Amino acid sequence: MAELYKNYIDGRWVEAKSGGTFENRNPADRHELIGLFPASGAEDVDSAVRAAEKAFPKWRLVPAPKRGEMLYRVGELLREHKEEIARAMTREMGKILKETRGDVQEGIDTAFYSGGEGRRLFGETTPSELPDKFAMSVRVPVGVCGLITPWNFPLAIPTWKLFPALLCGNTVVLKPAEDTPHTAVKLFEILEEAGVPPGVVNLVHGAGEEAGAPLVRHRDVRLISFTGSTAVGREIAALCGRDLKRVSLEMGGKNAQIVMEDADLGLALDGALWGAFGTTGQRCTATSRLILHREIKKEFTEMLVERAEKIKIGDGLDETVEMGPLINEAARQKVHRYVQVGKEEGARLLIGGAIYEEGKWIHGYFYRPTMFDQVSPGMRIAQEEIFGPVLCIIEVASFEEAIEALNNSSYGLSSSIYTRDVNRAFRALREIEAGITYVNGPTIGAEVHLPFGGVKETGNGHREAGTTVYDIFSEWKSVYVDYSGKLQKAQIDNVE
């Protein structure tokens, strides 16, 4: 009998009002049923929002240092349960244990970082232009925040949003991806154990149209924070714009790694493999384009093919496995369609390009590491987000051509350049159009105390993580205290 999981609303675990459920299965073996989860709808979302709204007036008055101390407790509990959560995450998401442990660690780091901000959360003081008058600005909470998160980082990304939102004094409703609901349950069990008051955090499972859309449209939700596809992000932006609702969007990427002729090729090789095939290419920061200088292209490509062909595919719970499955069959078919597109466009398939169904892995959503050569920057496979283990090689003859090829994208999330020339490195930092640039490192590996986000169609200008995330989850309020005992008129009484 499959285990039945529930929503978490107003401090209680409850079923969907419809009584409906959906299945959560292991992508490495679709015959393995992890559990049944609530197929929630607008009524469930409304219950969660009302609980969050009811809890907001009291939670916002809890001193920020005390809210931070609660996040420290959450971080300690996450650390205590790290292995348990990592293994559960690998079962439902597929990525290897090394990566799911890293996913949990990111949540731990975010908890401690956000907890520390409880004693900072700085405002600003500034001189007034008038005598006997004090001026300052402070942060205040926004209200009820709706968080919609993806399946590829099912603990890290919810914590990126949830912890700063709570630290700022907001209450939240989280709608996690329906492919990874179990990890969200694990997180909320820890929030409950840490003593987060009823209604402050609420969890509603379900599909995007049935649960996500009502959350976006709910009139009492004041802010939506979304991570996912650019197509869905556009729809959310339009809905929030109509209602003048605050919205933060972190969307797609088509990230590129440049390898110049003076690069350390061994180092660049490790970076390209990790960036392209880590998480089976299912990261918004994954290396999808590899821009190689003509002088090293043949040698480097041969090195890359040799290493990529040896990548061990299988169940991520096996510590020796290097690459797990794609998240579901729809994702695998999407990747396979793009492989056909690449062939039709005239790109040369070097390795892969096929579904992997060998031995006991016949019941999983596996795909071979895939590489295309002779890709031009304008090809669809070089422009559109594939979100799978597919790497496109683009040849260039100069640094300037490499930068031009990298910037030839509607996205601008992460980027990378391998070079020993410090002058080139700094020119790249200046000229690359991306929210993140690595020098002599892969396009993946963001740290929680730096801003995360991108330009162009990657987002709408906000940055998660670091201190910048607090600009998403707080409002600025300007405060003036006039102790002169008389009416003073700014811009009038101070001009002779």
Catalytic residues: 250, 284
* 148, β-bridge pairs: 175, 226
SS3 assignment for 113-148 = HHHHHCCCCCCEEEECCCCCEEEEEEEEECCEEEEE
CB 24 within 8 A of CB 182: yes
CB 178 within 8 A of CB 205: yes
Q: What are phi and psi of 117, to 5 degrees?
A: -70, -15
The token pair that represents 31 in the structure block: 């015959």
Find all residues with CB under 8 Å of 182, minimum gap 6, and list them: 5, 24, 34, 35, 37, 88, 89, 91, 92
Give the integer Cα–Cα distance in Å for 13 and 185: 10
The token pair that represents 6 in the structure block: 């529930």
Tell me, rounded to whole angstroms, the distance of Cα 331 from its chain centroid: 18
Q: Report the 10 Å Cβ neighbour count for 272.
A: 27
Give the integer Cα–Cα distance in Å for 384 and 379: 9
Q: Calculate the alpha carbon distances from 221 to 17, 43, 46, 108, 212 in Å.
A: 20, 14, 10, 27, 12
Give the integer Cα–Cα distance in Å for 291 and 417: 9
Amino acid sitting at position 167: L
Sign of CA dihedral 450, 458, 413, 310: positive
Give the integer Cα–Cα distance in Å for 225 and 51: 19
Nearest to 132 by CA among 493, 450, 434, 495: 493
Phi-psi region of 468 (alpha: psi -120 to 50; beta: other; left: phi over 0): alpha
